[in-house]
Amino acid sequence: MKYRAVLRPLATSCRYRSVVRVRGQSKRWASDTWSAGPAQKAGSDSVHFPGALKSKFTSKMRFQNPAEETAMPTYRIMDADGNIVDNTRDPQSASDTEIIQWYRNMLTVSIMDLIMFDAQRQGRTSFYMVSAGEEGIAVGSASALTPDDVCFLQYREQGVLVQRGFTLKEMMSQLFSNKDDHGKGRNMPVHYGSGKLNVHTVSSPLATQIPQASGAAYALKMQRLINPNVPPRIVACYFGEGAASEGDFHAALNIAATKSCPVVFVCRNNGFAISTSSIEQYKGDGIASRGLGYGIDTIRVDGNDIFAVRAVMLEARKRALEGDCKPVLVEAMSYRVSHHSTSDDSFAYRAKREVEEWKRRDNPITRLRKWMEKKGIWDEDKEKEARASIRKQVLQEFSAAEKVKKPPLRAMFEDVYEEITPEAREQMKELKRLVEKYPKEYSSVSQYEGGIKTLE
Partner 1 sequence: MFACRRSSTLLRTLKPAARQLRHASQASSTAELNKPIDFKKTAILHQSQSSARSAFGLSQDAPVDWVNLHGAINGSLHHALKTDENVLLFGEDVAFGGVFRCSKGLSDEFGTSRVFNTPLSEQGIVGFAIGCAAEGMKPIAEIQFADYVYPAFDQLVNEAAKFRYREGGTGGHCGGLVVRMPCGSVGHGALYHSQSPESLFTHIPGLRVVMPRSPSQAKGLLTASILNSRDPVIFMEPKVLYRAAEEFVPRDPYTLPLDKAEVLKTGKDLTVVSYGQPLYLCSAAIEALEREIKGLSIELVDLRAIYPWDRATIMGSVNKTGRAVVVHESMYNAGVGAEVAASIQEGAFLRLEAPVARVTGWSTHPGLVFEKFNIPDITRIYDAMKRTLEF
Question: 287 or 333, CB closer to partner 1?
Answer: 287
Question: 133 or 183, CB closer to partner 1?
Answer: 183
Q: How many angstroms separate the CA atoms of 262 and 257, rounded? A: 9
Q: Does 252 bind partner 1 (CB under 8 A)?
A: yes
Q: Does 437 bind partner 1 (CB under 8 A)?
A: no
Report, in this order, helix, strand and coil percent for the chain, each rounded to 5: 45, 10, 45
Q: How many angstroms separate the CA atoms of 235 and 218, rounded? A: 9
Among residue numbers 2 through 21, which ones bind partner 1 (CB under 8 A)?
A: 2-4, 6-8, 10-11, 13, 15-16, 18-19
Q: What one-character DSSP code corresponds to residue 262?
A: -
Residue among 411, 435, 445, 455 that touches partner 1 (CB under 8 A) = 411
- Residue 332 CB, nearest distance to partner 1 (Å)? 22
Q: Does 170 bind partner 1 (CB under 8 A)?
A: no
- Residue 9 CB, nearest distance to partner 1 (Å)? 10
Q: Does 57 bind partner 1 (CB under 8 A)?
A: no
Among residue numbers 171 through 190, which ones bind partner 1 (CB under 8 A)?
A: 181-184, 186-187
- Contact segment (CB under 8 A) with partner 1 among 201-209, 299-307, 337-345, 359-367 equals 201-209
Angle between the N-to-C axes of helices 135-142 and 306-321, in degrees from 0 to 180, rounded to the nearest 10: 40
Q: How many residues bind partner 1 (CB under 8 A)?
A: 71
- Residue 124 CB, nearest distance to partner 1 (Å)? 22
Residues 6+ apart with CB under 8 A from 312: 75, 299, 301, 330
Q: Does 22 bind partner 1 (CB under 8 A)?
A: yes
- Residue 232 CB, nearest distance to partner 1 (Å)? 14
| Cβ proximity of 305 and 370 under 8 Å | no
Residue among 46, 55, 223, 277 that touches partner 1 (CB under 8 A) = 223
Q: How many angstroms separate the CA atoms of 288 and 73, rounded? A: 10
Q: How many angstroms separate the CA atoms of 266 and 300, rounded? A: 10
Q: How many angstroms separate the CA atoms of 10 and 339, rounded? A: 57
- Residue 54 CB, nearest distance to partner 1 (Å)? 20
Question: 38 or 195, CB closer to partner 1?
Answer: 195
Strand partners, 233: none
Count CA atoms closer than 13 A to 428's CA, side-chain side.
Answer: 18
Question: 181 or 297, CB closer to partner 1?
Answer: 181
- Residue 208 CB, nearest distance to partner 1 (Å)? 5
Residue 279 carries which side chain, given as an amino acid letter? I
- Residue 98 CB, nearest distance to partner 1 (Å)? 27
| Cβ proximity of 240 and 340 under 8 Å | no
- Contact segment (CB under 8 A) with partner 1 among 52-60, 213-221, 311-319, 428-436 equals 213-221
SS3 155: coil
User: Taking Cα atoms as reference points, which of 108, 101, 178, 112 lies closest to residue 140?
Assistant: 101
